[in-house]
Amino acid sequence: MKGMTVIVKKTTQLIAGIIFLYGIYIILHGHLTPGGGFAGGVILAGSFILLILAFGSDFLHLVREERGSTLYENLAILIFLLLALSGLLVGAKIFFTNWLPHGTPGELISAGFLPLYNIFVGIEVAASILTIFLALVIFKEEILK
Amino acid sequence: MMNPLIPLLVAVPLAGAFLIMILGRFITGVPRIMALATLLLLAFISFWLLITGGAASSVYTLGGWEPVDGVPIGLYLIHDGFSALVLCIISLIGLLSVIYSISYMARYTSENYFYSLFCLMIAGMNGVVLSGDIFNIFVFLEISVISSYALVAFGVEKNELEATLKYQVLGAVASFMILFAIGFIYWSAKTLNIADIRVVFGEGGQGPHYILIQILLLTGFGLKAAIIPFHAWLPDAHSSAPSPISAMLSGVLIKAVGIYVIIRLFFNMFEITVGMAILITTLGALSMAAGVFLAIGQWDIKRLLAYHSISQMGYVIMSVGIGMILMARGIRSEVAALAITGGIFHMLNHAAFKGLLFLNAGAIEYSAGTRDLREMGGLARSMPFTSATSLAASLSISGIPPFNGFFSKLIIIVAAVMGRFYLLAALAALVSIITLASFMKFQRYAFYNTEPGKIQKEIREVPLPMLLSMVTLALICLLLSLLALPGIRETVLSPATDILMDQMKYSSQITGM
């Protein structure tokens, strides 16, 4: 896939980082404000997709990136499951129990497991949307070959 | 103390699926071992729960959220006599399909994707069966059917892609209708918990959309179960998938996400009305009769088997429908119990023999390289085990004693006669005879033909893992007929019937009222 003009590249460089940070903000404040893991993850994936669209990428590079994102996707969802399963071993021994201390409502570090769940859902969603995008691009490149 | 094994039924296959994708990338051979271990563990858990659980039903609240003033909040997993049986067939047929796949899938690439999707499909089905919350049923349903769309297309040839597209489009229509109905339910009942919906609807809060909700849910889950006006996707999808997947789709998926949910919702969520009961019985009788007439003309083995799935599911629906009519009229409740028992028993039997028949079809395709009955000839000599096991399954599906199909069909016909549905009883017997005819055709052309077929290459018996799962299923076909014996029937089948017959028991154990 070929890249775009210098103007597009420069603008993308400027805003991609800000979009990425905004995604992280949405994920971390998931338990306090609207949004959360899913919405933030989509924004994170958006910043990556923007960079790939602007700068282009050769085929082998894309395949390698796709492998990486699949790995992150599976790891994130596995860790999410293990966190949920940890409830079976600790405290009341119930699946999905929120056994961490809940803290003061309204503070960033509070609500026990919820921020952790949000973070891993965020990684999962970002990686899977990136994987879908890359799979479509790879598919097109393969057809063009 | 809640039983911690219940959430593991969903968590274990999910963990298996993700571990396969991670480890399978670095170490070859991990996917099949991992999938095998996952399914073995699941089979152990589900049978353990069936044996120890017995007639009692256990409720598991995720996160420990207890009901507030009798109104359930949070998510519930419910394991009772009916779901225990379905969980057992899911994990048993799943285990045997995985063993079969070890040899069969060696011809395909991307082994890790196959086993990962397989585990996801199992997780989805277990979730549907366990969930006590109608929206969660929808979520798990999507997990299992989306995995099955990908698995149907696993060969990535023209036919597979066409079949999976058809399956996806009709599946999406079904999912839309189900979601639409869930929206209406939430609007009128203000709750999504099945037990709580039952209570709200029972107190007269049915709202103006009550009939529409029922029709939408029947259509949506009817599409998933391939009842006759909604059956168009099934023959293509089930015949194009790799054979172990066909066995899973026909043997388990249409029951777990279709028939099971229809029975569960119409018995335990809605109050049974005569109108809906007659509609369900009619659809069942129609599927039963039309499915077999569509099947008998087929020459492609897997298409023939797929049409028979529609017909056999018709038996289940019709039998349960007869029970519903009798219950709605409030007469002859022991006959209603018999009809429902017959339906559930036939559902279990169908999982065993239809799974086996699809594995046989896969074995023929593996060795002879064709699915067309006219091209085969005298395979009984070169493939003795496949021939013997498929004979067992054919006799079983046609209802010949001492195989399991005979007993369940007998119970269904006896219940229909006792409930004075003489026409339906005669129809069931007639369909059984036509089924026998079409399986005689299958046996004659595939195995006992004296002419040599059109196959040029030398045909040999399939490898050991495939034989192992086929022989095991053939034995299960024989052993399941033991469930008809009085002593065993009371311990295994009756808890399932009781939870359906006793209308308020299901919701009272959850809301605690």
> In chain B, which residue's Cα lies nearest the Cα of A98?
B63
Which stretch, B400-414, B445-459, B483-497, has highest mean pLDDT? B400-414
> In chain A, which residue's Cα lies nearest the Cα of B10?
A81
> In chain B, which residue's Cα lies nearest the Cα of A77?
B18
- What is the mean predicted confidence (pLDDT) over B74-83? 87
Domain ranges within chain A, ordered by starting residue: 6-144
Residue among B4, B22, B62 whose CB faces A75 most closely: B22
CB contact under 8 A, A93 and B4: yes
Going by pLDDT thresholds of 50, 70 and 90, the confidence category of residue B55 is: low
Secondary structure of residue B193 in the 3-state scheme: strand
Q: What percent of chain B has pLDDT over 70?
A: 98
Going by pLDDT thresholds of 50, 70 and 90, the confidence category of residue A58 is: confident
Q: What is the pLDDT of residue B409?
A: 92
Q: What is the pLDDT of residue B372?
A: 86
Pick the closest to residue B123 from B252, B223, B309, B221 (CA basis). B252
Distance of alpha carbon A37 from alpha carbon A28, whole angstroms = 8
Q: What is the pLDDT of residue B15?
A: 93
Task: Read off φ and ψ for residue A66, nearest 5 degrees.
Answer: -65, -40
Does this model's pTM top 0.95? no
Q: What is the average pLDDT value for chain B, to the nearest integer? A: 89
Going by pLDDT thresholds of 50, 70 and 90, the confidence category of residue B165 is: very high
CB of A64 less than 8 A from some CB of B: no
- What is the mean predicted confidence (pLDDT) over A101-110? 82
At B334, the amino acid letter reads: E
pLDDT tens digit sequence for B210-247: 889 999 999 999 999 989 888 889 998 988 899 999 99
Residue A7 exposure: Cα atoms within 13 Å on the Cβ side: 0
Whether pLDDT at B151 is above 80: yes
Report chain A residues whose CB lies below 8 A from the CB of B7: 88, 95-96
CB contact under 8 A, A74 and B22: yes
Sequence-separated (6 or more) residues with CB below 8 Å from residue A68: none
Question: What 8-state DSSP symbol labels residue B58?
Answer: E
Distance of alpha carbon B342 from alpha carbon B319, whole angstroms = 7
Q: What is the pLDDT of residue A96?
A: 82
Report chain A residues whose CB lies below 8 A from the CB of B11: 81, 84-85, 95
Residue labelled with tokens 């299992």: B144
CB of A70 less than 8 A from some CB of B: yes
CB A141 within 8 A of CB A56: no
CB of A139 less than 8 A from some CB of B: no
Going by pLDDT thresholds of 50, 70 and 90, the confidence category of residue A109 is: confident
CA B89, chain centre distance (Å): 8
Q: What is the pLDDT of residue A121?
A: 93
Q: What is the pLDDT of residue B219?
A: 93
**A18: burial class by Cβ within 10 Å (0-12, 13-18, 19+)?**
exposed
Write down the H helix ranges in B153-206. 158-189, 194-202
Chain B contacts to A (CB-CB under 8 A): 2, 4, 7, 11, 14-15, 18-19, 21-22, 25, 60-64
The total of other beta-carbon atoms located within 10 Å of residue A143's CB is 7
- What is the mean predicted confidence (pLDDT) over B276-300? 92
Q: What is the average pLDDT value for chain A, to the nearest integer? A: 87
- What is the mean predicted confidence (pLDDT) over A27-43? 90
Q: Which letter, b or e, does each residue of B44-54 get, where b requires 16 or more Cβ atoms within 10 Å of its Cβ?
A: ebbeebbeebe
ipTM of the modeled complex? 0.89
Determine which of A51-60, A79-88, B159-168, B178-187 has the lowest per-residue pLDDT on average.
Answer: A51-60
Q: What is the pLDDT of residue A44?
A: 93
CB contact under 8 A, A78 and B22: yes
Distance of alpha carbon B59 from alpha carbon B167, whole angstroms = 34
CB of A78 less than 8 A from some CB of B: yes
CB contact under 8 A, B11 and A85: yes
Residue labelled with tokens 């966190």: A83
Q: Which letter, b or e, does each residue of B321-330 get, where b requires 16 or more Cβ atoms within 10 Å of its Cβ?
A: bbbbbbbbee
Q: What is the pLDDT of residue B200?
A: 87
The total of other beta-carbon atoms located within 10 Å of residue B373's CB is 20
Q: What is the pLDDT of residue B198?
A: 87
Report chain B residues whose CB lies below 8 A from the CB of A84: 11
Q: What is the pLDDT of residue A125?
A: 94
> In chain B, which residue's Cα lies nearest the Cα of A124?
B18
